[in-house]
Amino acid sequence: MAALRINSSLAVSLMFGLLLIILLAFALFFQLDMYWGLIIGIIITATIMLMQWAISPWIVEKATRVKYLKPGENVFLERMVSELCMEADVKLPRLGIVHTKTPNAFVWGRSKNDMRLAVHTGLLEQLNKDEIRAVLGHEIGHIKHKDAIVMTFISVIPLIAYMGAHMLWFGGGRSRDSGGIVAFGLLCLVIYLISQLIVLRISRIREYYSDAYSAEITKNPHALASALVKITYGLSLAPKNDKGQARSFYIADGISAAAEMKGISQRQSEYDLNGDGVLDERELELALEKESKRGRFSSIAEIYSTHPPTHKRVQALREIEREMRSGTFGE
């Protein structure tokens, strides 16, 4: 837990360090007074961040087609979320449902007092009570750590770098200071590529962090590991056009899930230990482990993913389970 906090803090600090480089370069290359150049850059950045913060809930709602629940419409879900929120000491989020067979869940919102939590009907149908509780604990962890808010703000930094990089094509060569514009554009292009990778890195770290929080609040890391295996399998079966919407908000990413399950489906007979034609939870866990040892899950592909590979998350949860048994968890 301590290592996750440190890594997340370092990555976020690095992101704002890159933003400062862009703002200083902006002032330098366009020969502005350094003080006023920074002030102008900060104002532009803050404006873009506030705009994204303001419209982000609307974007998520439209992308996921969430339907908000009325009080008493789903007592099971309301009661479970309420219990977890009380345990976590966070305000009860507005609850929603997405009517789709893919098993997933996500949170979003502008502040801790304006959070929303939605689950797919597929998750409620395919997971047992303990697994659903573990998934909800993971989502409450995102609320507790303000992850949706953090990701909304830091995702603006690659956008600003991308806008600066556009000067390579739309500004260079057509002004007296085209050399400065090209230099500024090239710097922004490099920062854009680096910052995109850092955003993805932060997203993966925060998934691990929320997994650990779910294990802590539910005292049942095995239930979340089991849920993640089922979710990965369920997402791999989803239609291609149902895998890419609001990927970073979900507990698991459909595109990564499909990639992880591809090798398993090709060698299903090898992993079907009891020969019943169906891979159960334990067989799927073993299959994920074996595929990772075969090198099927490329470390390069992981760098470009919003979520860690399922087998790594399961492995981390097993380690947490061992630490809980020995009384060393959280040290």
Q: Which residues belong to the active site?
A: 139
Q: Are 236 and 102 spatial neighbours (Cβ–Cβ below 8 Å)?
A: no
Exposure string (b/e) for 21-32, b if CB count within 10 Å is 16 or more? Answer: ebbebbbebeee
How far, in Å, are 97, 229, 230, 231 from residue 240 at the CA level? 21, 19, 18, 16
Contacts for 164-167 with beta carbons within 8 Å, 24 or more apart? Answer: 164/22, 164/26, 164/188, 164/191, 164/192, 165/189, 165/192
Alpha carbon distance 154, 258 (integer Å):
28
Alpha carbon distance 40, 62 (integer Å):
33
**Per-state percent for the chain, helix, strand, coil, to nearest 5:** 70, 5, 25
Quick one: CA torsion of 231, 236, 240, 241, rounded to 10 degrees? 0
Q: Which helix H or strand E contains 234, and what residues bound it?
A: helix 221-236
